Amino acid sequence: MRSRHGPTVVVGLGTRLMGDDAIGLALLDHLREQFDLTGDVLTLDGEAWTTHLTPLVRSARRVIILAALDLKERPGTLIVLEGPAVLAHFTEHPTAPWCAVCESLDEEQLHGPVPLELVAIGVQPGPVALGLELSPSARAALEAAATLVSERLGAWGLPCEPHLSHA
């Protein structure tokens, strides 16, 4: 069993060239721009998942995945999945970034001696098509999604305060 002693990892997933598929990356950018992520929080851009990211995720005690989460809700709807529901979602909706994450994390790790706390926070996407812009509904949901991430980090004892210039 792997030892879980690393930082809390926040990883944004998606493809910037595919409209609302980039929600996770846009949310990660928003968090980095608007919040002071203090404590033991590591943020990772997972657009081009490489093998050097896998050990960082595998050793983490807590992982938050930021992504477009298609649950057939109204575009812009905030979605939170936890534990086994995260892996189940990504198994049912396989894409290149999800497959890489699922290979890094598996069901056994969720219940090991030091259980992994795994959460996916995202937004129901609208159009996922070639384009550099998020839909208006996805853009409008970024602030609320960032608040959910901030609250989760705070509940884990990891302060995530707005930058003083944004407070």
Q: What are the pLDDT digits (tens) for 132-147?
A: 999 999 999 999 999 9
- Domain-wise residue ranges, the chain: 6-166
pLDDT at 134: 96
Residues of the chain with pLDDT > 70, as a percent, come to: 80
Q: Which residue has the higher pLDDT, 1 or 19?
A: 19
Residue with tokens 């069993």: 1
Q: Can you give the chain as a three-state secondary structure string? A: CCCCCEEEEEEECCCCCEHHHHHHHHHHHHHHHHEEECCCEEEEECCCCCCCHHHHHHCEEEEEEEEECCCCCCCCCEEEEECHHHHHHHHHCCCHHHHHHHHHCCHHHHCCCCCCEEEEEEECCCCCCCECCCCHHHHHHHHHHHHHHHHHHHHCCCCEEECHHHC
Specify the pTM: 0.88
Q: 6-166: which CATH number, 3.90.1150.10, 3.30.70.20, 3.10.110.10, 3.40.50.1450?
A: 3.40.50.1450
Model confidence at 69, in pLDDT bands (50, 70, 90)?
very high
pLDDT of residue 8: 93
For residue 5, pLDDT over 60 is answered with no
pLDDT exceeds 80 at position 29: yes
